[in-house]
Each structure stands twice: as C-alpha cells, then as structure tokens.
Amino acid sequence: MAQVGQQAKSAPFKVYTQRDLDRIEQLSRLSPEARFEMRVVSSVLPFRVNQYVIDELIDWKHVPEDPIFQLTFPQRGMLAPAHYDRVAALLRGGADKDEIARAVDEIRQELNPHPADQMEMNMPRDEEGHRLDGIQHKYRETVLFFPSQGQTCHSYCTFCFRWAQFVGDKELRIASSEAAVLHNYLRTHPEVTDVLFTGGDPMVMKTAHLKSYIEPLLAPEFDHIRTLRIGTKALTFWPQRFVSAEDADKLINLFEAVVESGKQLAIMAHYNHWKELDTEVAQAAIRRVRGTGAMIRAQGPLIAHINDDPAVWARLWQKEVELGIVPYYMFVERDTGARNYFEVPLVRAWEIYREAMQSVSGLARTARGPSMSASPGKVEIQGVTEVAGEKVIALRFIQGRNPDWVQRPFFAKYDDQATWLDHLRPAFGEEKWFWEDEYATIREDKLAN
C-alpha cells in the first residue's frame, strides 16, 4: 500500500452552503452588494464549498477573477438579468419562503435542468416496463449508475451540468440505493463492458457503501464487465478522502481488490485548472491512488472565466502527465444551468484546443475534444477548414446512440457564434445531418416507451 507523508494529514472536513455565506471570513473583504449577489444566485443554483478549497486553492488577492473562486462561488452573471432581478426583488422585499420557492422553481425549469434528453431517453426499463431510476444506458458498452449515497459533492462546481441533482427537488434527481437493481440489470446485458459510478460524487460515500456496489461485480458472473469507472472531483475538492479520511485505507484496499481481480479501475478525475494539482495533499492523493494500480484519467469542460486560455490547458495537461494522469477529454459547456455565463463559442473552443495541443508533447495529446455530449452522442469539433470553396466546421461522433455513426465525419456551415450542436446547420446545402432521420426514429421509440 502506498505510504503517505506528514503533509497529507488533514484538518476536519468543514463545509459551507448558502445559509453559511456570512460565516466565510474571506467574503467579508467583498462589498455588501457582491455578497447580496451571491445570496441571490445561490437561491437558484446550488452552492457548497469546503474549508480546504477556501484556504488552499483560492488566491483571495485576485478575487473575483481567481479561477477557483469562479469555479466554486456564485457570480451574478450566472443568472439571466430577468431571473436575477426577480429573485433580488423578492429578497429585498422580505417575501415569504413559499413565494421565493415558487419563483425559484419556475426559473429552474427554464434552465433546462436535464439536458440531452437524459431523463427521457437514457434511463432503461425492466421487463415489466418500470423505469430503472439511478441507471443510464445511452451507449451500448457503458452503463452509468447513480448511487443515492453519492449524490452530493465535497464542493459544487458553479458550471455543473448536473446542478439539478443538488437543489432538493426529488423529481429532478437521478439516484438509486438498490445495488441489486444495478447487478440484475448487468446480468441481462452482456453487451455492457464498462460501468461508471457517478453523481454527484461517489467519493462522498463511505467505503462500505461503495464496496456493496462494486464488490459483487468482481464475481465470475460479471466477467463481461471489464472496466469499472468512478467519476470524481474529490482529488481536487477533498484529496484527504484518499490519504487521511477515517476509511481512506479501506478505500485504497477496495481499489487494490478491483485491480487484483483483473478488471481495469479507471478514476475519471475532473480537473478544470492546473492550480488544482499544486497542493502537496492533492499530489499525495494522486500517488496513493496510482499505487493501487488504478488509472487516473482527467476530463473537464472548457469554460469562460476559468480556463478559456490555451496556456491554462497546456499547463494543466503537462502537469497531469508529470503526475501520471492521462489527459482524456476537453468538453464543451453543456446547454443547461448557467450556460450563458460559462459557454465559449465552438470555433473559439477548437482554437484554444488546437493552440494548447501545439504547446505540449505527444504524451499530453491524448485529450479528445472539444466534445459536446449532446443527445445524439458525443460530437467532437475537429476543426475549421474549406471544402469545395465553402468554409465549414468539421465534426465527428466519438460516441453515438447508433454505434455506426462513430468516427463518421460530417460538416456544418461555419458559424463563429454557435455554442452547441443545435446552433449548427449542415454545410453544402444539405437539409439534414446524415444521422438526423435515424435519430428522430430512435427518439420517437424511446419516448413512446
């Protein structure tokens, strides 16, 4: 088992939510108006931060521009002006909780709480036709599982596309506490090779809970499951989880057991900025996880105000490689929540990706992207070029609802303002994308069921 140095010893985990904003000492340096703006925004979008992030990752001399501050603390621009003004007026006027709650609920419904048809098209059903809450099966080989004990995070990212998981509305939440539901589903789907535990963040769970989901999958009846993935931000937001938490050793033992079983264990780590990798405890956590034989792959979206700079991405990828992490994905900010504050035009996203790639060695060029996780599939922006005298954006599917779409190139009219797939139009006078009719049929069948 990997050893941990003295620098990795942790202070107790201490978290702050909206009701604790006035208790965060560093915020007293901001103006009363700035603090009120945070209160307004956090009435609509979830806010949660912990002491480690506040003390170790944010440079308070450069607030509000500091990227980790932008990553974790509410900003006025995250709400549309009309939405902001509506909530601000209610708070200033002393409205009762029910009136505020009704307004907030209406605003949330306008923010596309579940993008890419994830509630309608990704959730499978059992033999009796009942929807299996807590499971998503969008791509043939991969199943996502949302353990109910892991549906929060050590801190929340302000741009999070799963923000609806965290606002307390059970109708918006995806989760399951039934390990048997997952295991029974996998028994009847031998085409599945990968299971991704996601959230929220599964690393907020006690190891005993995580073990109850994972350990049965090591049995021979699940030999078709070759890879277990765990999506997590804990290596950034609470690296002590892996080195000095009460059951950190049990967690490491579980990782070792997965690897020793012959399955691949992939920690899908979410990183947005190189600053997240700079602390001693973060690096100690990475070393300890890698010491189990698990692979750490890094992914994250390209987002305005945080990392819309090729130098940031180049430094991030270089640092990841130095620490033994594999750069995996650069995503496009999804069309949900505070998208208008964080989104970057697709053409600019590709330019940032290209310039960053030009600045790193081949080992750091494993990151795919910029990639949109849209309803038809994961669509990669491959570049801007000219074909038959027309300036176009070249695209391809990395993943698709129909595997036959994967790796097929297609082209969109050049549009330097588009920020999502549905903003683009086919090039060369075509009326539809090559996949559009088939996707419409797939969607119709899914919604009918």
**What percent of the chain is modeled with pLDDT above 90?**
84
- Does the pLDDT of residue 267 top 70, yes or no? yes
Average pLDDT over residues 59-73: 97
**What percent of the chain is modeled with pLDDT above 70?**
94
- Which candidate, 344, 389, 402, 388, places its Cα nearest to that of 370? 344
Sheet holding 135-139, edge to edge: 135-139, 142-145, 194-197, 227-232, 264-270, 295-302, 326-332, 368-373, 377-387, 390-400, 409-413
pLDDT in tens, 175-185: 556 788 899 99
For 407, phi then psi, to 5°, come to: 75, 5
Residue 114: count other Cβ atoms within 10 Å of its Cβ. 16
Q: Cα-Cα-Cα-Cα dihedral of 375, 377, 382, 385, to 10°?
A: -60
pLDDT in tens, 115-159: 756 666 777 877 777 778 889 999 999 999 999 898 899 999 999
Q: How confident is the model at residue 4 (pLDDT cuts 50, 70, 90)?
A: very low
Locate 53 and state its tokens. 């992030």
Q: How confident is the model at residue 10 (pLDDT cuts 50, 70, 90)?
A: low
Q: Tokens 């307390």: give the residue.
A: 168
pLDDT in tens, 363-392: 999 999 999 999 999 999 999 999 999 999
pLDDT in tens, 159-178: 998 888 887 665 555 555 67
- Sign of the dihedral defined by the CA atoms of residues 301, 303, 308, 312, in that order: negative
pLDDT in tens, 71-124: 999 999 999 999 999 999 999 999 999 999 999 999 999 998 877 566 667 778
Residue 414: count other Cβ atoms within 10 Å of its Cβ. 16
Average pLDDT over residues 318-327: 98
**CB distance 435 to 400 below 8 Å:** yes
Q: Give the bridge partners for 16, in sequence order.
A: 49
Give residue limits of the domains in the chain: 13-109
- Does the pLDDT of residue 268 top 50, yes or no? yes
pTM of the model: 0.92
**End-to-end Cα distance, the chain:** 48
Q: How far apart are CA 360 and CA 364, in angstroms?
A: 6
3-state SS of the chain is: CCCCCHHHCCCCCCEEEHHHHHHCHHHHHCCHHHHHHHHHHHHHCCCEEEHHHHHHHCCHHHCCCCHHHHHHCCCHHHCCHHHHHHHHHHHHCCCCHHHHHHHHHHHHHCCCCCCCCHHHHCCCECCCCCECCCEEEEECCEEEECEHHHCCCCCCCCCCCCHHHHCCCHHHCCCECCHHHHHHHHHCCCCCCEEEECCCCHHHCCHHHHHHHHHHHHCHHHCCCCEEEEEECHHHHCCHHHHCCCCHHHHHHHHHHHHHCCCEEEEEEECCCHHHHCCHHHHHHHHHHHCCCCEEEEEEEECCCCCCCHHHHHHHHHHHHHCCCEEEEEEECCCCCCHHHHCCCHHHHHHHHHHHHCCCCHHHCCCEEEEEECCCEEEEEEEEEEECCEEEEEEEEEEECCHHHECCEEEEECCCCCCCHHHCCECCCCCCCCCHHHHHHHHHHHHHC
- The residue type found at 141 is E
Average pLDDT over residues 397-410: 95
